[in-house]
């Protein structure tokens, strides 16, 4: 079976998958060293988990309360929500700084693969891609056969699927309660 795959016209796709898998492992190792093992990350993560659980339980009990108790409960919920947003923002910026190193590794790996497979289809698509996908799936390829798959698209699929599941498996996935505040977070209307 192995010889069947290696003699296939598109055996280069296995090289792309293999390189993507190795780079995902290296990136997670770098992230662990720079981010996940630090006490700052652990405390931020813990505070986000606690705040989101507290907010959930407060939301479910608020509906059945009297009006005066409801008002004070709503104020408490706003405070917890603000604290959750602040912790999420701190976590975002903390990961952002260290993520620059991971980004450099990914750019280098992509550049290496691009130099190896530029202009060469590495796989065949079993469907005709729509216009959004076409620009990536047919990137740098000659000819009009849109089912030829470039390294960029295959690498993109590998990156998303392998890295997401690897992070999930290792327990490095972002906490569910954390909202992504973006680079320019708006001030909280309720506390101003």
Measured from the CB of residue 52, what is the shortest distance to another protein in angstroms? 9
Segment near another protein (CB under 8 A), from 60-68, 72-80, 87-95, 183-191? 60-68
Figure out which of the listed residues 40, 43, 46, 57 binds another protein, where binding follows CB under 8 A: 57
Q: Considering only CA atoms, which of 16, 1, 4 is closest in space to residue 150?
A: 16
Integer Cα distance of 124 and 161 in angstroms? 19
CA dihedral 172, 88, 176, 192 (to 10 degrees): 180
Q: Which is nearer to another protein, 127 or 184 (CB)?
A: 127
Integer Cα distance of 105 and 28 in angstroms? 11
> What are the strands, taking DSSP E only, across the chain?
123-124, 148-149
Integer Cα distance of 40 and 44 in angstroms? 6
Token duo for residue 152: 């960029």
Segment near another protein (CB under 8 A), from 39-47, 53-61, 72-80, 101-109? 53-61
x-or-dash pattern for another protein, window 104-143, by CB under 8 A?
A: -------------------xxxxxxxx-------------
Count of residues touching another protein (by CB under 8 A): 34
Q: Considering only CA atoms, which of 23, 16, 24 is closest in space to residue 120?
A: 16
Integer Cα distance of 151 and 153 in angstroms? 6
Q: Which is nearer to another protein, 38 or 62 (CB)?
A: 62
Q: Which is nearer to another protein, 46 or 164 (CB)?
A: 164
Q: Which is nearer to another protein, 31 or 34 (CB)?
A: 31
x-or-dash pattern for another protein, window 7-36, by CB under 8 A?
A: -xxxx-xx--x-------------------
Tell whether the torsion through CA atoms of 38, 41, 47 and 49 is positive or negative: negative
Identify residues 144-173 at the interface with another protein (CB under 8 A): 149, 154, 157-158, 160-161, 164-165, 168
Integer Cα distance of 12 and 10 in angstroms? 5
Q: Which residues bind another protein (CB under 8 A)?
A: 4-5, 8-11, 13-14, 17, 53, 56-57, 60-61, 63-64, 123-130, 149, 154, 157-158, 160-161, 164-165, 168, 176
């Amino acid at each position: 079976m192995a010889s069947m795959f290696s003699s296939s016209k598109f055996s280069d796709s296995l090289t792309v998958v293999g390189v993507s898998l190795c780079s995902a492992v290296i990136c997670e190792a770098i992230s662990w060293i720079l981010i996940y093992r630090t006490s700052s990350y652990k405390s931020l993560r813990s505070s986000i988990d606690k705040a989101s659980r507290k907010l959930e339980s407060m939301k479910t009990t608020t509906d059945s309360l009297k009006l005066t108790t409801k008002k004070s409960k709503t104020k408490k919920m706003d405070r917890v929500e603000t604290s959750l947003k602040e912790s999420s923002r701190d976590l975002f910026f903390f990961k952002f700084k260290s993520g620059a190193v991971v980004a450099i590794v990914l750019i280098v790996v992509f550049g290496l693969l691009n130099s190896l497979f530029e202009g060469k289809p590495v796989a065949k698509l079993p469907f005709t891609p729509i216009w959004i996908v076409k620009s990536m799936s047919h990137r740098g390829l000659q000819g009009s056969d849109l089912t030829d798959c470039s390294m960029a698209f295959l690498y993109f699929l590998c990156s998303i699927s392998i890295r997401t599941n690897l992070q999930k498996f290792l327990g490095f996935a972002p906490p569910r309660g954390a909202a992504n505040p973006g680079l320019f977070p708006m001030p909280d209307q309720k506390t101003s």
